[in-house]
Amino acid sequence: MDRENGDGDIEGGGGADDGGFRSPIGRKYHPVLANDRAVLEMSSMDQGPSSSSSAFPDQHPNIRKVNTSVNGSSDAKEENPSHENQPNGSLQQESKLELFGFDSLVNILGLKSMTGEHVAQPSSPRDGEDISITAGLPKPAAPKLGTLMGVFIPCLQSILGIIYYIRFSWIVGMAGIGETLLLVSLCGTCTFLTSISLSAIATNGAMKGGGPYYLIGRALGPEVGVSIGLCFFLGNAVAGALYILGAVETFLKAVPSAGIFRETITQVNGTAIARPIQSPSSHDLQIYGIVLTILLCFIVFGGVKMINRVAPAFLIPVLFSVVCIFLGIFLAGKDHPSEGITGLSSDTFKENWSSDYQRTNNAGIPETDGSVTWNFNSLVGLFFPAVTGIMAGSNRSSSLRDTQRSIPVGTLAATLTTTFLYLVSLMLFGAVATREKLLTDRLLTATIAWPFPSLIKIGIILSTMGAALQSLTGAPRLLAAIANDDILPILNYFKVGDASEPHVATFFTAFLCIGCVVIGNLDLITPTVTMFFLLCYTGVNLSCFLLDLLDAPSWRPRWKFHHWSLSLVGALLCIVIMFLISWSFTVVSLLLASLIYKYVSIQGKAGDWGDGFKSAYFQLALRSLRSLGASQVHPKNWYPIPLVFCRPWGKLPENVPCHPKLADFANCMKKKGRGMSIFVSILDGDYHECAEDAKTACKQLSTYIDYKNCEGVAEIVVAPNMSEGFRGIIQTMGLGNLKPNIVVMRYPEIWRRENLIEIPATFVGIINDCIVANKAVVIVKGLDEWPNEYQRQYGTIDLYWIVRDGGLMLLLSQLLLTKESFENCKIQVFCIAEDDADAEGLKADVKKFLYDLRMQAEVFVITMKWDAQMDGGGGSPAQDESMDAFTSAQQRIDNYLTQMKATAEREGTPLMADGKPVVVNEKQVEKFLYTTLKLNSTILRYSRMAAVVLVSLPPPPVSHPAYFYMEYMDLLLEKIPRILIVRGYRKDVVTLFT
């Protein structure tokens, strides 16, 4: 027996029973106190022999292990083999909260990784230290990057590139200071809002490789993620070509003698003397561009470590060149200014404030008859690549040490820094040079730089090469991340292992980049890059908007400075900019993304990532369900929600969970496939023993429903028997007004053939349960012959409308006509009257009723008269062709009744059937048999060639045995190959009113 000493320690040993509760293994129960040793142990980690002595050095020098397993053996140790025997003095925790079957949640450091990987237990933190939820995760072997090298520098290199150095001053000259200010503000706001959305999503959990693709895919689903991700990959590959061409163009302008081909373009801008301006040949751009692409690919093949070493070499000269440009601007008026350089002047600022859009040639040089016309929209397309690059850090998310900290800080810092730089630069460019100089000198930044223009040209070349390097680094990793998700089998060639470099994807990216370099024209490439980047930014903003608006419990981003309205504005701004640039390029990019989306949805593998659309559907369903309320659905809004009872009366082929034609029939109850079906089956047995079997059966049934292209859900219920299981289903299935309203099942045709004597009571019990639950019933006989969608039916759909059913039978016939199988059929309505005097009035009323319901049908009224001898209790209709069936049914009922009476006399009990007393009126039984016989004869007389027959379902008589009711039904359905027995419920399903 264990006892508690004065210090709160639990010690093992023998002792006398002191009256406490004794466990099966001989231990006594003690109440848990605040200073109990067990509580103290749960608030600290199991440190093992090396650290146990320091956990509580003064209080508990000797702490013995306590085995609290139920059987007193080593079962607990066998269930958790990771815990080894530990010497005295070690803290142990396998016995704590054993009742719950899990590790103690009091100890947060004991939580397993959500990925299911084994997590090593870290050392206990010192007092006052913050505990990271990721503490203890195994560190990967690949080098990890921080905020500066992993996000800020890549983003800065990608943003601050070719457009700033060789196009920005030209844009200021064309649009003027005012419109350029609007242009930079518009584009900067777009990327800033996107950066906020990116920060929110990136801090909402662990982020694997793939950057924006990973974020969009997990938020909007695999189809949207792959389509936008591939477009963004193409954008990065094309952007690499853009930066490479910019570097080559700068190099050839700085060193004209390096050009293999020469081309002179004469400027004609209204001046008296035409001045020749050298422009690099497109062939030189292509040759040098291909060579530079290959050189950069060698660096990329060196991996992240090589890129980290090279990146500062590209960035430092860039920052130095920016400083030289600003120094040159402030010193331009004093240091021997060249022609067109006025120095900082308020007059020049005023002259350049307004726009002066001109026609230019393909090189951007103004010409009166130039082939290119510029306006604000086209300048947006030209300038926007200058603010792209905010995804450069997130593209390398797999290489970051802490994505949740680095991506928001690094991305927003780079965005704000470059936007501020652009705003200041456009003011200074507009105040330092004339408009003519701004439009004709494509290297104005080098012209005004201090002390030497060549330094700026070197800086331009290195900056563009750095931006190209970031594109060639991020694009292959993006493609590899898409391939690793295994959504598209065609991308399997680009898969890479953990901590491996995507060499195949790099080859493919280089190939695309070289193809774009061959085009050799920056102004033709930039709109394409812009569209792909804007499409990705739209996806990021929409992802954040959806997640923030739905506010699911899992949406807990660490970045708090976000709101769904900002993301929505960012998404709309991206779309507006796309159409401002070019509606044709926008349509093409959206069409490309749509084609990829369709291809992924058809050929791609399913990926359940818990995306935001699933949450949106859930929220929409909840709102719709609440709006429907619990009130009665108006007939105009009534939809059939069939509860398809899949439990077969007999056996089905192996691995077939449902009769193959039940799904086909369920589809026939929906107009154009709209609506929901609930497929249920009952598994006999104990729930605790059959729970796993039920899950397997439910999955199999759901797969089969999808295979049959039927919109519906599958449910498996475990119950002791079919009757109890169905009774539970009929009471609980569904929510609010989305509860099933029609029970569909197969007629048990085999019950007499295979002598299944338990079927009548079960079948009648199910019908009575449906009546009590106010559910409509549709029973299908001849299900094996029910046509599929490819089997065309001809003839008629005959309705034997006997009782008022709220129009359900009429509605079912109309739904059948909407299916290709029955679209060539015509509807005939047979109304049963008991007197000739009622026939004409009934026919007129039914015709008017069908006309008001907009239903085309031919109406017949049949009078069913009682035979005089039948009323007297003797004789039978000798002329009826079903007389043999009638006689056989009558004989079987007599035999069953005789057995019942003999059993009752022998046991001295009242007349019993199906476990309850019954009262049998033999004359009434004979009348019921005669009624079904007359109706069967009528159906055979008028509807032998009908495609399908619908007849009202008679309710089971309360005092009659279930066996009798099955005889009535068998006689009613005798020799009719395909028939639907329909019972409505106390609600109208059709209405005359619009």
Q: State the CATH number of the domain containing residue 701.
A: 3.40.50.620
The last residue of a domain, from among 786, 810, 829: 786
pLDDT exceeds cutoff 80 at 14: no
Q: What average pLDDT does the segment 452-477 reach?
A: 82
Say if 100 falls within a structural domain. no
Same domain for 814 and 765?
Answer: no
pLDDT of residue 874: 43
Same domain for 302 and 168?
Answer: yes
Hey, what are 703's tokens?
A: 């797969």
Q: Report residue 92's pLDDT band, with 50, 70 and 90 as the boundaries.
A: very low
Same domain for 448 and 471?
Answer: yes
Same domain for 752 and 860?
Answer: no
pLDDT exceeds cutoff 50 at 109: no
Point out the least confidently predicted range of 38-52, 490-504, 647-661, 935-949. Answer: 38-52
Q: Report residue 628's pLDDT band, with 50, 70 and 90 as the boundaries.
A: low
pLDDT of residue 73: 41
Q: What is the percentage of the chain residues whose pLDDT exceeds 70?
A: 76
Q: What is the mean pLDDT of the chain?
A: 76
Hey, what are 771's tokens?
A: 């009546």
Q: Encode pLDDT of 153-195 as tens digits.
A: 888 877 877 788 878 999 999 999 999 999 999 999 999 999 9
Q: Report residue 46's pLDDT band, with 50, 70 and 90 as the boundaries.
A: very low
Point out the least confidently predicted range of 74-88, 133-147, 172-186, 328-342. Answer: 74-88
Torsion sign (Cα): 937, 943, 947, 948: negative
pLDDT of residue 161: 73
**pLDDT higher at 361 or 293:** 293
Distance (Å, whole) CA 885 – CA 877: 12
Distance (Å, whole) CA 373 – CA 725: 76
Q: What average pLDDT does the segment 126-141 reach?
A: 42
Distance (Å, whole) CA 983 – CA 115: 52
Largest interatomic CA distance in the chain: 132
Domain carrying residue 676: 629-786
pLDDT of residue 674: 65
Distances, alpha carbon 720 to alpha carbons 97, 684, 784, in Å? 34, 5, 29
pLDDT of residue 350: 92
* Whether the Cβ atoms of residue 955 and residue 983 lie closer than 8 Å to each other: yes
pTM: 0.62
Domain count for the chain = 3
Q: Encode pLDDT of 824-859 as tens digits.
A: 899 999 888 777 777 788 888 888 888 877 788 888
* Whether the Cβ atoms of residue 167 and residue 381 lie closer than 8 Å to each other: no
Say if 844 falls within a structural domain. yes
pLDDT exceeds cutoff 90 at 929: no
Burial class (CB in 10 A: 0-12, 13-18, 19+), 467: buried
- Tell me the residue ranges of DSSP E strands in 855-976: 858-863, 912-913, 916-917, 948-952
Same domain for 461 and 539?
Answer: yes
pLDDT exceeds cutoff 50 at 48: no
Count Cβ neighbours within 10 Å for each residue of 225-235 and write b for 16 or more, e otherwise: bbbbbbbbbbb
Q: Which residues pair with 97 in a beta bridge?
A: none
Distance (Å, whole) CA 280 – CA 285: 7
Burial class (CB in 10 A: 0-12, 13-18, 19+), 535: buried
The last residue of a domain, from among 733, 767, 786: 786
pLDDT exceeds cutoff 70 at 993: no
Q: What average pLDDT does the segment 676-700 reach?
A: 89
Say which residues have a Cβ less than 8 Å from residue 321's Cβ, sequence separation at least 6.
Answer: 165, 445, 449, 455, 456, 458, 459, 460, 463
Point out the least confidently predicted range of 7-11, 226-230, 531-535, 731-735. Answer: 7-11
Q: What is the percentage of the chain residues whose pLDDT exceeds 90?
A: 11
From the list 686, 698, 777, 750, the residue with the least C-alpha distance to 724 is: 686
Same domain for 695 and 557?
Answer: no
Say if 924 falls within a structural domain. yes
The last residue of a domain, from among 603, 638, 656: 603
Same domain for 886 and 777?
Answer: no
pLDDT of residue 525: 67
Rg (CA), the chain: 41
Same domain for 754 and 804?
Answer: no
> For tokens 């749960």, what's the residue?
42
pLDDT exceeds cutoff 70 at 67: no
Same domain for 536 and 670?
Answer: no
* Whether the Cβ atoms of residue 716 and residue 694 lie closer than 8 Å to each other: yes
Amino acid at 294: I
pLDDT of residue 417: 92
Say if 672 falls within a structural domain. yes
**CATH number of the domain where residue 429 is located:** 1.20.1740.10
- What is the three-class DSSP state of 399? helix
Say if 768 falls within a structural domain. yes
From the list 591, 683, 207, the residue with the least C-alpha distance to 405 is: 207
* Whether the Cβ atoms of residue 681 and residue 657 lie closer than 8 Å to each other: yes
Tell me, letter by letter, the H, E, C secondary structure of 954-972: CCCCCCCCHHHHHHHHHHH
Say if 473 falls within a structural domain. yes
Q: How far is CA 619 from the centre of its chain?
A: 13
Considering 7-16, 904-913, 977-986, the range whose residues carry the highest mean pLDDT is: 977-986
Hey, what are 682's tokens?
A: 């009952």
Q: What average pLDDT does the segment 503-522 reach?
A: 84
Q: Encode pLDDT of 778-798 as tens digits.
A: 999 988 888 877 788 888 999
Same domain for 592 and 648?
Answer: no
* Whether the Cβ atoms of residue 113 and residue 119 lie closer than 8 Å to each other: yes
pLDDT exceeds cutoff 60 at 501: yes
Q: What average pLDDT does the segment 598-619 reach?
A: 71
pLDDT of residue 149: 81
Same domain for 241 and 297?
Answer: yes
Q: Report residue 602's pLDDT band, with 50, 70 and 90 as the boundaries.
A: confident
Burial class (CB in 10 A: 0-12, 13-18, 19+), 967: buried
pLDDT exceeds cutoff 60 at 913: yes
pLDDT exceeds cutoff 50 at 703: yes
Say if 743 falls within a structural domain. yes
Hey, what are 262's tokens?
A: 């020469």
Other beta carbons within 10 angstroms of residue 772's beta carbon come to 11
pLDDT of residue 238: 84
**pLDDT higher at 470 or 754:** 470
Query: Looking at beta carbons, which pairs linking 54-62 to residues 24 or more positions away fall under 8 Å?
Result: 55/91, 55/124, 59/7, 60/7, 60/9, 61/89, 62/9, 62/88, 62/89
Q: Report residue 802's pLDDT band, with 50, 70 and 90 as the boundaries.
A: confident
Considering 280-284, 561-565, 600-604, the range whose residues carry the highest mean pLDDT is: 561-565
Count Cβ neighbours within 10 Å for each residue of 852-891 and write b for 16 or more, e otherwise: ebebebebbbeeeeeeeebeeeeebbeebebeebbeebbe
From the list 432, 433, 430, 434, the residue with the least C-alpha distance to 422 is: 430
From the list 111, 159, 157, 162, the residue with the least C-alpha distance to 132 is: 111
Distances, alpha carbon 651 to alpha carbons 181, 454, 646, 656, 754, in Å? 77, 88, 11, 10, 12
pLDDT of residue 282: 76
Same domain for 690 and 820?
Answer: no
Say if 118 falls within a structural domain. no
pLDDT exceeds cutoff 50 at 61: no
Hey, what are 181's tokens?
A: 């200010």
End-to-end CA distance of the chain: 82
Hey, what are 903's tokens?
A: 């059993």
